[in-house]
Structure 1
Amino acid sequence: MADWDIRKLQILRTLRERGTVTATAEALRMTPSAVSQQLTNLSRQLGVDLLRARGRRVELTDAARLVLRHAEAVFERLERADAELAAYVHGEAGEVRVGAFSTAVPALVVPAVTALRATHPAITVRVRETEAQEAYELLAAGDVDLALSLAAQAPTATDPRFARVPLLADPLDVALPGDHPLARRDGLRLADLAAEPWIFGGSGPWSDITRGACETAGFRPHQAHSAAGWTAILAMVEAGMGVALVPRTAAVPRTGVVMRELRADRPVRHVVAAVRRGAGEGAALGTVLTALRTAARARLAETAHRPHP
């Protein structure tokens, strides 16, 4: 039987995700020479070539991909063993590290942590605000236990490293200046705003979500201004500089802005949590996931009647 080494398999797995020996070394806090040495040793132990040169870089061989395909099941079993062992030793106690994007922190994470302080004081939650790409890198590296992101930015459901948990279908409401002619029109549709100047990010998921929602409604939005933060976007709407789609859980009431629900063609953004496969069975992590789902339901109920009818 081949000599399987979990640590070396983790290095090989990280190389697959990061693409270069240098990036792998940075992620694992190793030197590039140590990474190369460990992978050379693993290749010798397994009796197959795991890497081949491609110019100045290396790439995984078919044998390496076969090894990792089987190793994923091993990693999942080890995560499950860690989770069950932690539950056995600590019960509903322990530390859970959460990586979450900016609007999810006040809308979901903070209410969940507040509730857990009252119901599960033995669970400590450590929060790290981070965008999706970094959150999933941290999750893969074991530096966070749970990552929150938009579904559009999350790994696919077939990614063998992670299990996804749906948290929230967050409706997108349209923000209009208070004196806008359509601010109080009955049955407002997204298509009614086709000729309006729009405010949204220049690139990234929110740009894609806004463009996609408008194109589904039958028009391409004219981007008059670009901003990434909701405070800046709503300030420009209030000044009459354009209209914007705003997630209901991110909207902050402003005197000069009317939030309208789009009933006929309402777009939504989906928020998901992800954990390493097998890890979700841990008592503390499972409790935090439950608290996040509860916070998501409460947030939607709280904001359900906020937009102008």
Structure 2
Amino acid sequence: MNRIEWLVMYDLHRLRLLRELKHRGTLAAVGDALGYSASAISHQLAILEREVGVPVIEPVGRRVRLTDAAELLVAHTERVLLELEQAEAAIAASRSSVSGQVRIATFQTAAHTIVPSALDRLADEHPGVDVSFQHVHAEHALPALLARDVDLVLYEEYPGSPVAPITNITTEHLLDDPMLIATPAAHAASSLAGLADARWAMEPSGTRAREWAAATCRAAGFEPRVAFESVDVLLHARLVAQGRAIAFLPALIANTVGEFTLTPSGASRDIRLATRTGSQANPALEAVRRALRASV
């Protein structure tokens, strides 16, 4: 049976609901994302079970999970959606003008630097492209891309902690962003080891940035004394400028805020672009990608 025959046999809307459940985890989360009640989703999945002839979800405590048969259905659904995405991109490419909406998920420092420059460029070159963006950490941004909540993701990878490849997502390198040791102007240190007794500003535990920062300090022979935890890197910079903390700051924003001393750490983070495979031919999306490349 080819995919067209398979698509006719099963309802694509219900297959998409099953796919959403795999990516979002709960019926409530699917309902919030799509504007349905949990009971309505359950009803649609019950119809899908009758169509397929086998169970597609099973209870696990107060939650549900996909059965093996459902996982197989989702894998086929991903391929069908990929072909639909390619068709959508091809239709968009056939238009005489470049227009459309592109939703970006990005991280804080890129939102302050790379994205505004790209928006200015797009406004001049492609005013018909409507761009919106939201600040989302990489841990959540790539799943959001796969779930079609966004169309493009700007994310960061830290040394020794690459993001595992995800099926149906294509990534590309945008730039290397050196990580710098920021110290108050009156507190320059000749080495990282010399900051063993300092108070640090770092991102919260469990984030890739924190894991890298802590591992870098441990490699220098000490456990960092983290006095300030925040996902706000600009706040880290302000605390350093006030003489209250030491921090690792990315070069992307280190020279744009505060007065402090900057010393190379010897490491860089990898700034990357991610799109859904099959969508790259969409002219509006390609225009945004070109603008982001040009802005760095």
The reply to whether residue 167 of structure 1 matches residue 169 of structure 2 is no
- Asked if the contact 2:109–2:233 (Cα under 8 Å) also holds between the matched residues in 1, the reply is no
The alpha-carbon deviation at position 116 of structure 1 amounts to: 1.9
**Which region of structure 1 is more displaced relative to structure 2, 223-232 or 25-34?**
223-232
- CA RMSD of superposed structures (Å): 2.5
The alpha-carbon deviation at position 282 of structure 1 amounts to: 0.9
The reply to whether residue 293 of structure 1 matches residue 296 of structure 2 is no
- CA offsets, 1:60-94, max 9 Å, x none? 11111112222222221111111111111254322
2:107 to 86, 101, 110: 101
Equivalent residue letter for 2:209: W
TM-score (norm 2): 0.86
Equivalent residue letter for 1:212: A
Identical amino acids, percent of aligned pairs: 33
Query: 1:10, 1:273 → 2: CA distance?
Result: 25
Q: Could you tell me which residue of structure 2 aligns to residue 205 of structure 1?
A: 208
2:35 to 29, 32, 37: 29
Equivalent residue letter for 1:271: I
The alpha-carbon deviation at position 201 of structure 1 amounts to: 2.6
Q: Which runs of 5+ in 1 are unaligned?
A: 183-187, 297-309
2:20 to 14, 19, 24: 14
Q: Could you tell me which residue of structure 2 aligns to residue 148 of structure 1?
A: 154
TM-score (norm 1): 0.82
Query: 1:132, 1:122 → 2: CA distance?
Result: 28
Q: Could you tell me which residue of structure 1 aligns to residue 276 of structure 2?
A: 276
Equivalent residue letter for 2:271: V
Query: 1:147, 1:253 → 2: CA distance?
Result: 24
Equivalent residue letter for 2:175: L
Q: How does 1:93-242 map to 2 (within 5 A)?
A: 93-133=99-139, 135-136=141-142, 138-151=144-157, 156-157=164-165, 159-182=166-189, 188-203=190-205, 204-242=207-245
Alignment coverage as a number of residue pairs:
287
The change in CA–CA distance for 1:58 and 1:201 in structure 2 (over 3 A counts) is closer
Query: 1:19, 1:256 → 2: CA distance?
Result: 45
The alpha-carbon deviation at position 288 of structure 1 amounts to: 0.9
Q: Could you tell me which residue of structure 2 aligns to residue 301 of structure 1?
A: none
The alpha-carbon deviation at position 175 of structure 1 amounts to: 0.8
Query: 1:133, 1:140 → 2: CA distance?
Result: 12
